[in-house]
Amino acid sequence: MAKLYTNNSIEKFNDLQPKEETVNFLLNYSKALSVINCNKMKFEALLN
C-alpha cells in the first residue's frame, strides 16, 4: 500500500488546472445547495 503513494505521483497532481467552467459549476452548485436540519435528520435541497 505504501508503494502507491510515492513522491512522483504527488508531483503529477500539483500541475492540475481545472477549466473555468468546472469551477463556475461547482461554485454555482454550492450557492444553490441548502442543508436543512430537522430532528437529527439532514435534508439537502437544490434551490434553482
Residue range of the domain that includes 45: 19-48
Compute the Cα dihedral for 17, 20, 22, 28 and give only its sign: positive
Is 44 part of any domain? Answer: yes
Measured between alpha carbons, how far is 45 from 7 in angstroms, rounded to an integer? 40
pLDDT in tens, the chain (48 residues): 556 665 565 666 667 788 999 999 999 999 999 999 999 999 999 886
Is 2 part of any domain? Answer: no
Measured between alpha carbons, how far is 19 from 27 in angstroms, rounded to an integer? 13
Whether the CB-CB separation of 31 and 47 falls below 8 Å is answered with no
Is 46 part of any domain? Answer: yes
Domain count, the chain: 1
pTM greater than 0.85 (yes/no):
no
Is 24 part of any domain? Answer: yes
Is 11 part of any domain? Answer: no
34: DSSP letter: E
Is 45 part of any domain? Answer: yes
Is 4 part of any domain? Answer: no
Is 8 part of any domain? Answer: no
